[in-house]
Structure 1
Amino acid sequence: MLITGLLVLTATTCIVLGDAAGKALTEAGFDPFFVAWTRFACAAIALAPFCGLTSDSLRVLLDKRVILRAALIAAAISSILTALSTTPLPDAFGAFFIGPVVAFVLSALLLGETLGRGRSALLALGFGGVLLVVKPGFGLTPGIGFALLAGVLYGCFLVATRWLSGAVRPRLLLFSQLLIGAILLTPLGATTVLPQITPGAALLVLASAAGSAIGNFLLVWVSRTTPASIVAPLIYTQLIAATVVGATFFGDWPDLLTLAGLCIILASGLGSLWLGRTAR
């Protein structure tokens, strides 16, 4: 359990560091679509040798369900990068965690899944934390709006992943979202007007792609041997990484309401972990 927790914490930290690099690029004038496109393209190239591609892989990559799933994550990443261009990391990630609530509702409606009263109550608690971060009616900004959109899209992506679980190998599923995402984003990402690309900017592009690729690869690897009921709640540790990275690199300190919301969301995730362990 300790090793699993450390691996998931490493994965979520890598993802946050990748998003931090993306935030630095957007603040330097790079279009979010360009950052998203390079992230998908570089990660696809880097992970291709490790994904066990075969002659049957092309059939999977042309599956409409696989393409839909990849489109959802490409749109989600583009939205969160747009949000991060104007919004502090912890605020954006707090709003982004509307995703588990969306995934729960859609899983119940479309897949017939049930989580029970305990998990439902914890998700409702997490939703309350999201509301504190978002501050609807008096604190909602365009950046937070894009973060919410990213969370909704990511929730749909999670449901699509469950829909395809068992039908596609995990590594091929990861590679499909990277390759198809890169292809879908090419018309927007490859045609943007770019500021001067300095060695520092090129390093940030690589860091953005590497952080996302390593983080997601670790999550897929852990998920092969660890139940989803254990892995999913641990992903909430991303909020800790986002708060620390935001404060360290950007001086983004959450206000009291946002901090309270982040703590509630984290408590909701850890409560789900405890509930999952006791149920076993």
Structure 2
Amino acid sequence: MSSKTQGYLFVLLAITIFSVQDAISKHLGSAYPPIFITMIRYWAFASFATIFAAKAPGGLTAAIRTKRPMLQILRGVLLVSQIVTVVYCFASIGLAHSQAIFSATPLLVALLSIPLLGETVGWRRWSAIAAGMIGVLIILKPSGDVFDVKQLLAIFASLLFAFYVIVTRLVSRDDSSVTSFFYTGVVGAVFITALGPFYWTSFSGWDYGWMFMLCVTGISSHYFLIRAYNVLDAAAVQPLTYLQLVYASVIGATIYGEQLTRNMVLGSVIVVSAGIFTIWREQIVARRVRLAQQQPNR
């Protein structure tokens, strides 16, 4: 089996596990405070990030060393806040509906990269962003004239993650991926632990097991995603992440009885198509820039 094939298998494993993790998050988030659930999950995540960094070249000493400490802290706070919001969205508006709105995140990243990263967006990507926003508007009214204000939380979660991606791109100019991964887990755990105890509650029955499974899926999904990025470019990985929307729709409809409306399906198709096109165009432009830089000056 080639390394590229293994990479795609790792991506599929990671996405599948992420989807199982989302289903468990919906179950636990419906019964317990999302902040409490996220805190327990982050304790496991931070432990994994620390062990992973310790085994990397240079160990913890190299992982802790960062040229962008404030941005690394901001990354950790953004991601853990986004996860808390996501768990609440899964519990309140459903898996499928939430993931349909989250699928607009690459479009938001492209939009925010203009003022925050100074990137230039051509008319093709502007057209894709505009089409994607129309798709989001279609999703936001899945039942006709009824608008659920809770849907705004899903948009907020997408914005949080978009900012997280932008800040990650900034720190990647100076820090290694191991350093960023370490700070993501540890900073997030410290931040959520400052809040989580105020929401402490006891699990009942099988929920102890579900919480354990949430921690296991959280660790294993990140592990397989790291393995995938070791052999595949982001351009190959990112389009496949839209499979989470398919998984969420199937799990939401079959296990939780969620309704897949025509507006939601149509809007999702538009948003996903626009997102894949945007990712593709970003890679085309980046490749042209690299080739231009490699050409000798005449």
TM-score (norm 2): 0.83
Aligned length: 278
Match of 1:180 in 2: 187
Q: For 1:43, which of 42, 45, 61 is the aligned residue? A: 45
Of 103, 111, 114, which residue of structure 2 is paired with 1:105? 111
When residues 179 and 100 of structure 1 are mapped into structure 2, their CA distance, relative to the original with a 3 A threshold, is same
Identity, % of aligned pairs? 26
3-state SS of the aligned residue for 1:114? coil
- The C-alpha deviation readout for 1:72-111, integer Å capped at 9, x for no partner, is 1111111111111211101011122332222112211111
Letter in structure 2 aligned against 1:177? T
- Aligned AA (1:205): M
Q: 2:168 aligns to what?
A: 161
For residue 42 of structure 1, what is the amino acid of its counterpart?
Answer: A
Task: Tell me which amino acid in the other structure corresponds to 2:193.
Answer: T
TM-superposed deviation, 1:189: 1.3
Counterpart of 2:25 in structure 1: which amino acid? Answer: G
Residue of structure 2 aligned with 1:149, choices 156, 173, 186: 156
* Number of the residue aligned with 2:296: none
Paired with 2:83 and 2:124, the residues of 1 have a C-alpha distance of: 31
The 3-state SS of whatever aligns with 1:254 is coil
Whether the 8 Å CA contact 1:70–1:178 is kept in 2: the answer is yes
TM-score by length of structure 1 reads 0.88
- Residue 128 of structure 2 corresponds to which residue in structure 1? 122
**1:226 equivalent in structure 2:** 232
Q: What is the Cα-based RMSD across aligned positions, in Å?
A: 2.6
1:209 aligns with: 215
Letter in 2 for 1:167: D
Greater Cα offset, 196-205 or 251-260: 196-205
Q: CA deviation at 1:238?
A: 1.6
Q: Which residue of 2 aligns with 1:132?
A: 138
Contact 2:10 2:227 in 1 (8 A): no
Which secondary structure does the structure 2 equivalent of 1:106 belong to?
Answer: helix
How far off its partner does 1:124 sit?
2.7
Does the aligned pair in 2 maintain the 1:234–1:269 contact within 8 Å? no
Q: Give the residue type in structure 1 aligned to 2:179.
A: L
Q: 1:239 to 1:129 in 2, by over 3 A?
A: same
* 2:13 matches 1:10: yes
Matches within 5 A, 1:85-104: 85-104=91-110
Q: Is the 8 A contact 1:9 1:238 kept in 2?
A: no
Can you list the C-alpha shifts for 1:195-251, whole angstroms capped at 9, x where unaligned?
A: x42352122212223323322333333233322233222222221121122123212
Question: In the superposition, relative to structure 1, how do residues 186 and 142 fare at CA in structure 2: closer, same or farther (>3 Å)?
Answer: farther
Could you say what secondary structure the match of 1:54 adopts? helix
Report the alpha carbon displacement of residue 263 of structure 1 after superposing the two structures with TM: 1.9
2:162 is paired with a residue whose SS is: helix
Q: 2:290 is matched with which residue? A: none
- The question of 1:65 aligning with 2:65 is answered no
Instruction: Assess if the C-alpha contact under 8 Å between 2:7 and 2:229 holds in 1.
Output: no
Moved more, 201-210 or 117-126: 117-126
Q: Contact 1:69–1:177 at 8 Å: present in 2 too?
A: yes
SS of equivalent residue, structure 1 residue 60: coil
Which segments of 5 or more consecutive residues in structure 2 lack a partner in the other structure? 288-298
Matched position secondary structure for 1:75: helix
Mapped to 1, the partners of 2:220 and 2:13 lie a distance apart of 9
Q: Pick from 84, 94, 103 the counterpart of residue 78 of structure 1.
A: 84
Q: Separation in 1 of the partners of 2:208 and 2:284?
A: 47
Higher mean C-alpha deviation, range 225-234 or range 80-89: 225-234
When residues 58 and 273 of structure 1 are mapped into structure 2, their CA distance, relative to the original with a 3 A threshold, is closer
Give ranges in structure 1 of 5+ residues lacking alignment. none
Query: 1:32: Cα distance to partner?
Result: 0.5
1:251-276 deviation per Cα after TM superposition (whole angstroms, max 9, x unaligned): 21311111111222222344446657
CA distance in 2, matches of 1:80, 1:166: 28
Q: Compared with structure 1, are the counterparts of its residues 149 and 128 closer, same or farther at alpha carbon in structure 2 (3 Å cutoff)?
A: same
Deviation at 1:71, TM superposition (A): 0.7
Relative to 1, partners in 2 of residues 1:240 and 1:48: Cα closer, same or farther, differing over 3 Å?
same
Q: Once the 2 structures are TM-superposed, how far is the Cα of residue 193 of structure 1 from its aligned partner? A: 4.0
